[in-house]
Amino acid sequence: VIKVAVAGATGYTGQELVKLLVGHPEVHIQALLCHSHEGQTYSDLFPQFIGEVDLPLLHHSAINQVVHQCDVLFLALPHGAAASLVDEELLSAVKVIDLGSDFRLKQASLYDKWYEMAHPGPHLLNSAVYGLPEWNRVAIKKANLVANPGCYATTVLLSLMPLMLAGASLTDTVIVDAKSGVSGAGRALSLPVHYNECNESVKAYKVASHRHTPEIEQELAQMAQKEVKLLFTPHLVPMSRGILSTAYVTLNNGASVGQLKKLYEDQYKNEPFVKVLSSESPETNRVSGTNNCHISINFDERTGSAVIIGALDNLVKGAAGQAVQNMNLVCGLPETSGLVRRQMLTPA
Amino acid sequence: VIKVAVAGATGYTGQELVKLLVGHPEVHIQALLCHSHEGQTYSDLFPQFIGEVDLPLLHHSAINQVVHQCDVLFLALPHGAAASLVDEELLSAVKVIDLGSDFRLKQASLYDKWYEMAHPGPHLLNSAVYGLPEWNRVAIKKANLVANPGCYATTVLLSLMPLMLAGASLTDTVIVDAKSGVSGAGRALSLPVHYNECNESVKAYKVASHRHTPEIEQELAQMAQKEVKLLFTPHLVPMSRGILSTAYVTLNNGASVGQLKKLYEDQYKNEPFVKVLSSESPETNRVSGTNNCHISINFDERTGSAVIIGALDNLVKGAAGQAVQNMNLVCGLPETSGLVRRQMLTPA
Amino acid sequence: VIKVAVAGATGYTGQELVKLLVGHPEVHIQALLCHSHEGQTYSDLFPQFIGEVDLPLLHHSAINQVVHQCDVLFLALPHGAAASLVDEELLSAVKVIDLGSDFRLKQASLYDKWYEMAHPGPHLLNSAVYGLPEWNRVAIKKANLVANPGCYATTVLLSLMPLMLAGASLTDTVIVDAKSGVSGAGRALSLPVHYNECNESVKAYKVASHRHTPEIEQELAQMAQKEVKLLFTPHLVPMSRGILSTAYVTLNNGASVGQLKKLYEDQYKNEPFVKVLSSESPETNRVSGTNNCHISINFDERTGSAVIIGALDNLVKGAAGQAVQNMNLVCGLPETSGLVRRQMLTPA
Amino acid sequence: VIKVAVAGATGYTGQELVKLLVGHPEVHIQALLCHSHEGQTYSDLFPQFIGEVDLPLLHHSAINQVVHQCDVLFLALPHGAAASLVDEELLSAVKVIDLGSDFRLKQASLYDKWYEMAHPGPHLLNSAVYGLPEWNRVAIKKANLVANPGCYATTVLLSLMPLMLAGASLTDTVIVDAKSGVSGAGRALSLPVHYNECNESVKAYKVASHRHTPEIEQELAQMAQKEVKLLFTPHLVPMSRGILSTAYVTLNNGASVGQLKKLYEDQYKNEPFVKVLSSESPETNRVSGTNNCHISINFDERTGSAVIIGALDNLVKGAAGQAVQNMNLVCGLPETSGLVRRQMLTPA
């Protein structure tokens, strides 16, 4: 049995993670930590867990004791907090899966620029492993520190990596127009996600300036073996959860939708959590509550553009589910353990 | 007083139109026509109109008598139906504002291809006037047959025409990613807009194949004086009304966001219904129930792309409100009559 | 022209009031006041008002100067604030319409108990007039201080007053189960109305302890000429606006649905804003954005109970619209002025 | 391993049932049957099941062959259809769990009246067992034909049975005001559940005439050992799933909230799926996707009334989850098998 602790257990990502961990057949939750509810029972705060998770919450400051009783520590914290907490000593005691953004970028200077603060632990960036299992499985299995990708990044990377690997993009710019449910903004109170402000409304935000941009560019460029520029526009959509990303890539003239589909189907045919749809377009409610990502392949001959659409649940495959998937890999468990209703075949 | 009739009065567009017309200070509703509810009172069908619109509905077949008592006939009918109905004789009796798609394209062959049927009245296409007042005001004032633009088309054209006029697009392809509320799908029952199918979900549909594409290309090309190709992806969003379109255009390197904003502000400064936002991003609930279109201008230096975002209410500026605006022009009334809470200045 | 000021102009009720006032043909908005946005332009805060309400906001502390330039002062403030502000001197300068709860109860002791604070101005309670026009029109016309009813209270009173007047209730207890959209909770941030907390969920709150209870009992008892006890359960429903109340009253055995309908129809037949539905059940979207209240009459012979269902828009007939209706009465304007698309007949 | 078939597998209840069955550790799905999609793969129709349920659908007419390969047959059919299908021969081949309403009422005459048709198989009513495990566990274990309770009935009965058993109701009438998400109306297209008709709206429907009324009265009366009359008003709320029922019962004067809570806690303390909340009010999103029912106990001293609020997921505890719970009992499996993330203690 894998003993785990969760820091930041009261946010939306934390709650989803606890829900998955409590149902995982190989996991025991050792401790739940938080900032403001020390001493309260988890199920008192969140009645959906009555009779299931009646643990009292610990304060984050107890983390250094806690890790000595654990195999894996999950961090679901605001940016900056994880990197302030993790050091070699901690990593010698426990394997860390960080659901935040502190260990995703390889260059501290990029972090400093996009997050507008000096990275608290730049020397750890090299040893952190980017936790996108479908494209980095081997390295994750050996990692002590896994940087779980952002929710947008997961959607976009799963949608675009096959094209990058094939060197199919004619230009160095890709455009991604993404739509997210409101849970992506977290549980902290703020006017834009007050019910009446965002209900019955769609808007773009952080146009061409969202912090997942450099993370996506980094991974695309590494796969394409050349610079890739991302023009990324996230939108807020009135629903609780789900991300849909619509990616536009200019291709060589000779491309066909059949070739493209084959490329994706070959790439993902053994993946338990990525499904290339044959004809339907992805809908976020089809993946809600699952660790699945649905992808559809379209090609517009009139403009020579591929339109790749991906959908996933931002709280599951975009966060907590992928973190559990990474934990499975790090701990040598079957990759789908605790994430599927029935055991499915994992890639050989 | 302008006497009007509405054919197709029971759809969502029809209801919105009736709501606007009943509040218009210069209009008298002479007749409401429909397909399936002949004899029923409008307010029996739609209790929101109790005490306001208690007219009995007539059958569409009465239209030829009705027009002789009217100055303006609004058509809110499925495609194909309007073109089957309108002929020279009808146009000699009444001015027609068609909210459908039958008279928007100048080339019948394009209609035949995108609508997969032979256009029922191709000889009328030349005399029909495209009813986008901000860009075609002079012609509309003299029209007998106005083709009210599609809801997506209105959003996209108001967003992109200034760039086309300035010849600013570096490539011949523009990409538009649009998001619409569910009323855009109309009142006819179908599974994709059954509540539980589309609630809490986002999806793309008719990727690169939506019928508003040729209409938008036609108008953009005419303004740009060169071919323009549109890659257009509409999405369905779980809200009742509203459209947001996010348009991506590659510009010359020397462009700046300041120049772009000035271009738009100069273009629209006297327009009563188009607002160029200074810093906020458009939100559909800010324009809901109004005839306004909000536009924001963004420029991404990293990729040399303008990101122009437009928002409007698909049932108002995208349909019924614009139809009333066109009626005002056709009838020589102040352009904002019946469309604003207070009279605003119209362009000289 | 009536000159008005609004204190508390930035809340949801304040915004709705400004929207109605800007469209009112006989009103000039002299000043908008608020707590935290002094100096900002109203349309900067709320882009839906661009070009329409570009007034700079004043601080509440300017109110004593402002009133000397006004005929009517609207107060949309938290409870306690209005009663601290209003005194004889203010009332000698301006007529006040308070949209809050400070002047609704006749007994200060009831206020002290339900609002858990000492009423700041109990001597004014007697001169304040309860602003439910359908049942108190004569007194409102002569009032200097109008206490606009609560949103729940308006729905319930319009639903039950005819039964009380007829002395029809067999018991002294009535049960009201009400459902409200989220805007009823206001614009102040709080976890229960954070989007993801209340979306896709229904819950009861303040069971048998909501503060509108004594206000409703006071008015029902006065009409019934005997004590009336209200068991009131409000519920939060995932929609932006609207209230539906379902009221259960035990009747004498001889009652019939026909008699009941006639009672209501006779009572309300000349009312411009109350509609007794003949067969349909009220739906909140049918009254959304209007000053109308829809009521349906049901009688269950098996249990001898009347089930009276009322629906209105909590921000309009439940707040800002009714405040304008009261202003019309106070100022001698037609009661429907600024509240209907077309002028309707008002009661003689 | 229990072999099961599902007739009516394409409705919302059917889909939820398939989702639960595919995750059940002791179940093998032998066949899925439907009316209109024979030959299509289940995951083609419902992409959320790709890679999980790729079975081709059979036509309902194959049911008589199918049952010979099965241990349990689930019926999720419109009323009338199940009773036309089930006979002694079928019951000799397979155990039947009917999720519809055909076998819930003991008196065929009540069925004839409320369902406005002659019951197709009245001789089976006596042998059918009402499948509310918390109150009928012993009988269910021995049943060949289980009548799964209605979604409203489950909520109301779990909320009121302890009071009935205690003989606490002072009058013979109880009032229940219930609120349901839209999935309760099923997947068949109809205007009231077209997205734009029910979004942003609340309404009552079938006031005092809903078909779950006699079913609830039958069970309450049997528990109370006297006649009980139910005044039941269901409401439609704009959310996908969830039921909240608010029940009003007049009690003897000496009652206290403490006594009431103890009554419920004692009754349900060993129940795995019923949780009596200590202070919070139930919210439907807290039980969404689970087989749990949350109940809160309130007592209004002013009117001597208990207000019992219950919440559950209409598709799970209100339908498919309870059907699986019944299957577990019928087949001698642990009652919570396939329904909880972790095995919980079942009552001794």
Residue A343: the pLDDT is 58
Q: Which residues of B touch C47 (CB under 8 A)?
A: 275, 277, 280, 283, 286, 294
Around D42, how many Cα atoms within 13 Å sit in the side-chain half-sphere? 30
Alpha carbon distance B324, B76 (integer Å): 13
- In angstroms, rounded to a whole number, what is the distance separating the alpha carbons of residues B173 and B229? 5
* Angle in degrees, CA D309, D315, D318, rounded to 5: 45
The pLDDT score that the predictor gives to residue D347 is 39
pLDDT at B255: 83
Instruction: Report the gap between the CA of D201 and the closest CA in chain B (Å).
Output: 11
**Mutating which of D26, D50, D288 best tests the A interface, going by the most A Cβ atoms within 10 A?**
D50
Cβ-Cβ contacts under 8 Å for C7 (sequence gap 6 or more): C33, C34, C60, C63, C73, C74, C75, C76, C77, C85
Burial of C290-314, coded b for 16+ CB within 10 Å and e otherwise, reads: bbbbbbbbbbbeebbbbbbbbbbbb
> How far, in Å, CA of D254 to CA of D277, rounded?
23
| Listed residue (A91, A114, A94) closest to A232, CA to CA | A114
pLDDT digits (tens, 9 = 90+) for D82-125: 999 999 999 999 999 999 999 999 999 999 999 999 999 999 99
At residue D343, the pLDDT reads 58
**pLDDT-derived band of residue B341, with 50, 70 and 90 as boundaries?**
confident
Contact: A342, D51; criterion CB under 8 Å: no
- Could you give the CA distance from residue A21 to residue B199 in angstroms, rounded to a whole number? 28
What is the average per-residue pLDDT within D322-347? Answer: 85
The ipTM value here is 0.96
DSSP state of C169: B
Considering only CB atoms, C344 lies closest to which of B51, B275, B285, namely B51
**Spatial separation of the C-alpha atoms in residues B151 and B181, rounded to whole Å:** 11
Residue B184 has pLDDT above 90, yes or no: yes
Cβ atoms within 10 A of the Cβ of B329, count?
A: 25
d(CA C260, CA D19): 49
Instruction: Please list the active-site residues of B.
Output: 151
Nearest to C196 among A182, A191, A196 (CB): A182
pLDDT in tens, A102-121: 999 999 999 999 999 999 99
pLDDT reading at B342 higher than 90: no
Going by their DSSP bridges, the two strands B305-312 and B293-300 should be labelled as antiparallel
pLDDT reading at B326 higher than 90: yes
Instruction: Provide the 3-class DSSP secondary structure of residue D199.
Output: coil
- Flag whether pLDDT at A179 surpasses 60: yes
Round to whole Å and give the CA distance between C96 and C147: 9
A290 three-class SS? coil
The mean pLDDT value for A320-342 works out to 95
- Report d(CA B158, CA C290) in Å as an integer: 30
pLDDT at B72: 98
Given an 8 Å threshold on Cβ–Cβ distance, is D173 in contact with C303?
yes
Element containing residue A147 per DSSP (H, E)? strand A145-147
Give the pLDDT score at C343.
58
Q: Which pLDDT does position B343 carry in this prediction?
A: 58
A29 Cβ contact partners less than 8 Å away, ≥ 6 residues apart: A4, A5, A6, A18, A21, A22, A53, A55
* Secondary structure E strands in chain D: 2-7, 27-34, 58-59, 72-75, 95-98, 129-130, 145-147, 173-180, 203-204, 229-236, 243-250, 274-276, 293-300, 305-312
Q: What is the mean pLDDT of chain A?
A: 95
Choose, out of B37, B187, B196, the residue to mutate when testing the contact with D (most D CBs < 10 Å): B196
- Give pLDDT tens digits for C117-149: 999 999 999 999 999 999 999 999 999 999 999
Whether B231 contacts A305, CB under 8 Å: yes
Tokens linked to A115: 């997050």
Query: How far apart, in whole angstroms, are the C-alpha atoms of residue C207 and residue D295?
Result: 14
Q: How many CB atoms lie within 10 A of CB D235?
A: 23
Poorest-pLDDT segment among A26-30, B54-58, D255-259, D312-316: D255-259
Tell whether the model's pLDDT for residue A176 goes beyond 80: yes
pLDDT value at D21 more than 70: yes
DSSP calls for A28-81: EEEEEEESS-TTSBHHHH-GGGTTT--PBPEEGGGHHHHGGG-SEEEE---TTH
The verdict on a CB contact (< 8 Å) between D194 and B193 is yes
Q: Does A321 touch chain B (CB under 8 A)?
A: no
Contacts 24+ apart (CB under 8 A), A207-210: A207/A233, A207/B281, A207/B296, A207/B298, A207/B300, A207/B307, A207/B309, A208/A232, A208/A233, A208/B298, A208/B300, A208/B302, A208/B303, A208/B305, A208/B307, A210/A152, A210/A234
Question: Band of the pLDDT at B346, cuts 50, 70, 90?
Answer: very low
Of C44, C304, C274, C288, the residue nearest C154 (C-alpha): C274
Residue A88 predicted with pLDDT over 80: yes
Q: Tokens for D98?
A: 């009917």
Rounded Cα distance between D286 and A47, Å, is 7
Write out residues in chain C with pLDDT < 70, as ranges.
Answer: 343-348
Predicted confidence band at B347 (pLDDT cuts at 50, 70, 90)? very low
Query: Across the strands, what pairs with A298?
Result: A307
Count Cβ atoms within 10 A of the Cβ of residue D3 and give its class: 0-12 exposed, 13-18 middle, 19 or more buried.
middle
Residues present in chain A in total: 348
The shortest C-alpha distance from C259 to chain D (Å) reads 18
Q: Which pLDDT value is given to residue A207?
A: 97
Specify the pairing of strand D27-34 against strand D2-7.
parallel
3-class DSSP assignment, residue A161 = helix
Report the percent of chain B where pLDDT is more than 70. Answer: 98
